[in-house]
Structure 1
Amino acid sequence: MEGGEGGDRTPRVAVAAFILKGSSVLLGKRLSEIGKDTFALPGGRLEFGESFEECASREVKEETGLDIQKIEVMTVVNSVQPDAQRPSHFVTVIVRAVLSDPGQIPVNVEPDKCSGWAWHEWDSLPDPLFKPLEVLVSSGFNPFSCSP
C-alpha cells in the first residue's frame, strides 16, 4: 500500500485482510518505503470496479499465494500521514477471512515488498505495527470478537 506518486495528495482506497487461523492472524514485515520494517496485514489498493471482497481475495493471493473465503467487511481506517517523507492518505477497508483450505502455507510471493509472512497470536502481536493496523489495535478492535 504505497502513497500517492509525486506531489499527488489524492486519498487512496485500500483493503487489508485479517486472515484468521485459530487465535492467530497473518502478518508480513513491510519492505516498502511507507511503513518500512513494520508488520502489516496482506492487502493493497482497490482497483476500478472491484468489490472489497474481490480486492481482498486478489491481494491476498498476489502477496501470499493463499486462497481465502468467508470474507466479511469489518471496519474502516482513515490514515492520514501529511508529514511523512512521502505524504499519504489511505482509507483502508478492513475485512476478515479464513483460509479456503486450512492446510495452505503462506508464500512470500513479493519479496521486494515483504520480508515474509508468519502467523502471530492476537494477544502477542509483533512490534512495530504498520500505522493503520496500530491505530486499529490500539482502539480495542479485535477481529475475533467483533461483528461486522
Structure 2
Amino acid sequence: MNKEVRVGVATVIIRDGCILLGERIGSHGSHTWATPGGHLELGESIEECAQREALEETGLVVDSITKLGFTNDIFEKENKHYVTLFVVASCKAGEPRVAEPDKCKQWKWCRLDELPHPLFLPLINLLEENPSLKGFA
C-alpha cells in the first residue's frame, strides 16, 4: 500500500433534480461514473478546488458551494488511499463538455434514482453513508 493518503475533492453539481456524472478513463476507477473532482492543491480552499476542477473538467462555472461530507476510500487493486471531500454546487447555465479527453469519456445529467453503473468508489461510499443526498437533487 502506498504510504501516502491523498485528499480528493468531488463536486456534486445539481441541476433540475439531476447530478452531473462523467465516465472516468485512464486512471484509478477507470470506466466508473463519478462527479467532477480532483486533488486538493497546497494552499487551496476546498471551494476553490471544487470550482477549479469543475471548470477544468467540464467547462462549467459552479457556485453556491456547500460542504456535504467526506468518505474514506481505499482502492485496494490500485494500491491507493484517498479521503474524498464532497461538496454540492449549482450551475445555472451551460452544458458540460469533455475538456480532459484523456480522463473522461463523457458527461451526462443523471437522476438519483437512475444512476449509471458502475459508480466510482467514493460516490458509492458517499451514497451508503449519506442517503440524505437525495434531499439535494
Match for residue 107 of structure 2 among 117, 140, 146: 117
Q: Distance in 1 between matches of 2:112 and 2:68?
A: 16
* 1:50–1:140 CA distance, 2 compared to 1 (3 A): closer
Residues 27 and 120 of structure 1 are in contact (CA less than 8 Å); yes or no, is this contact kept in structure 2? Answer: yes
Residues 39 and 127 of structure 1 are in contact (CA less than 8 Å); yes or no, is this contact kept in structure 2? Answer: yes
The one-letter amino acid paired with 1:52 is: I
Match for residue 14 of structure 2 among 12, 15, 20: 20
How big is the shift at 1:140?
A: 4.5
Q: How does 1:76-115 map to 2 (within 5 A)?
A: 76-81=70-75, 83-84=76-77, 86-99=78-91, 102-115=92-105
Residues 13 and 93 of structure 1 are in contact (CA less than 8 Å); yes or no, is this contact kept in structure 2? Answer: yes
The one-letter amino acid paired with 2:128 is: S
Q: Distance in 1 between matches of 2:130 and 2:2?
A: 32
TM-score under structure 1 normalisation? 0.86
- 2:65 matched residue in structure 1: 71
From the two aligned structures, give the one with the greater helix fraction. 2
| Percent of aligned pairs sharing the same letter | 40
How big is the shift at 1:122?
A: 1.1
Q: Distance in 2 between matches of 1:63 and 1:142?
A: 26
TM-score under structure 2 normalisation? 0.93
- 1:128 matched residue in structure 2: 118
How big is the shift at 1:139?
A: 3.1
Match for residue 54 of structure 1 among 24, 44, 48: 48
- 1:34 matched residue in structure 2: 28
RMSD over aligned CA atoms reads 1.4
Q: Distance in 2 between matches of 1:39 and 1:94?
A: 15
How big is the shift at 1:123?
A: 1.2
In structure 2, runs of 5+ residues without a counterpart are none
Q: Distance in 2 between matches of 1:88 and 1:95?
A: 22
Count of matched residue positions in the alignment of Structure 1 and Structure 2:
136
In structure 1, runs of 5+ residues without a counterpart are 1-6
Q: Distance in 1 between matches of 2:93 and 2:11?
A: 18
Q: Distance in 2 between matches of 1:22 and 1:88?
A: 34
